[in-house]
Amino acid sequence: MIQRQTTMLPKTAAFLAGMCLILCLSSDAQEISTSNTSRYVGNGRWDWTVYIRAVPQVLNKIRCVEYKLHPTFPNPVRNVCALEDPHYPFGLKSNGWGVFEISIKVIFRNGTVRHLRHMLKFEAPPVKDSLPITPDNVANEVRAGLWRWTVFLRGPDEVLEQIQCVEYTLHPTFPDPVQEVCDRGEGPHAFVLTATGWGTFQIKIRVFVKDGHVQELTHQLEF
């Protein structure tokens, strides 16, 4: 009996070690999640980075991450095999106008694989401190009851230089009610939008800042 117990110990130890390895790998894999950054760059397009989130000891076990993008992308299957920016581990950068689900394969150094999915999100967080800018407009009557008007932003030059684009949402009766201006222009009137109409209304304004934030404003059109 003593010999039988002695010969069983190595087998038992090997079994427990194997179970520990499986459970530890599973635990590490469960600690992995995904996220993405986004920054509006104009013309309906966004710069974005999708990346892996995990504690350093788990990230160090990853060899490569495979991202499968929408089939409309050139080379939709892309591999990232370097940690690169520690804030966005194994990050993949791209640009586009639409969101979609990304299939992700995390390949560990020991050969194991974890499959994940990430729904791309485009969001612009609000500015922490409001920019010192104000909307205004000028208007000229082109004939009885019909006005040609121009809406724009006012502010210090150093503040206007921080703006990427300005989105104006007009009255829904306009053919294209959402208009975007990414050209600051020259002079005191910045990000100018000109249109013609017969009635006043409130314009909703989104100011996209180059650092990725957004500031929302409103302006009551005046004739």
Beta strands in 120-201, from DSSP E residues, in sequence order: 134-143, 146-154, 163-169, 178-181, 190-197
For tokens 């791309």, name the residue. 120
Nearest-Å Rg of the Cα atoms of the chain is 28
Are 89 and 53 contacting, i.e. CB atoms less than 8 angstroms apart? yes
Hey, what CATH topology would domain 33-119 get?
Immunoglobulin-like (2.60.40)
Could you confirm whether domain 134-220 is CATH 2.60.40.1970?
yes
Please report the pLDDT score of residue 187 as a whole number: 85
Alpha-carbon distance 113 to 115, whole Å? 7
Q: What SS3 class is residue 32?
A: coil
What are the structural domain ranges in the chain? Answer: 33-119, 134-220
Walk along the chain (223 residues) in steps of 10 and give the mean pLDDT of each run: 39 43 46 95 94 96 98 96 96 96 98 97 95 98 96 97 97 96 94 97 97 97 96
Please report the pLDDT score of residue 88 as a whole number: 98
Please report the pLDDT score of residue 25 as a whole number: 44
Q: What SS3 class is residue 85?
A: coil
For the four alpha carbons of 194, 198, 200 and 205, in that order, the dihedral sign comes to: negative
Do 134-220 and 33-119 have the same topology in CATH?
yes
Q: What SS3 class is residue 121?
A: coil
In degrees, rounded to 5, the angle at the alpha carbon of residue 74 between the alpha carbons of residues 178 and 123 is 35
Please report the pLDDT score of residue 188 as a whole number: 87
Please report the pLDDT score of residue 11 as a whole number: 46
List the structure tokens of 130: 């409001």
List the structure tokens of 223: 């004739």
List the structure tokens of 74: 């050139």
Please report the pLDDT score of residue 30 as a whole number: 54
Alpha-carbon distance 82 to 85, whole Å? 9
Buried b (16+ CB within 10 A) or exposed e, 5-29: eeeeeeeeeeeeeeeeeeeeeeebb
For tokens 């017969």, name the residue. 198
DSSP code of residue 126: B
List the structure tokens of 115: 């499959």
Widest CA span in the chain: 111
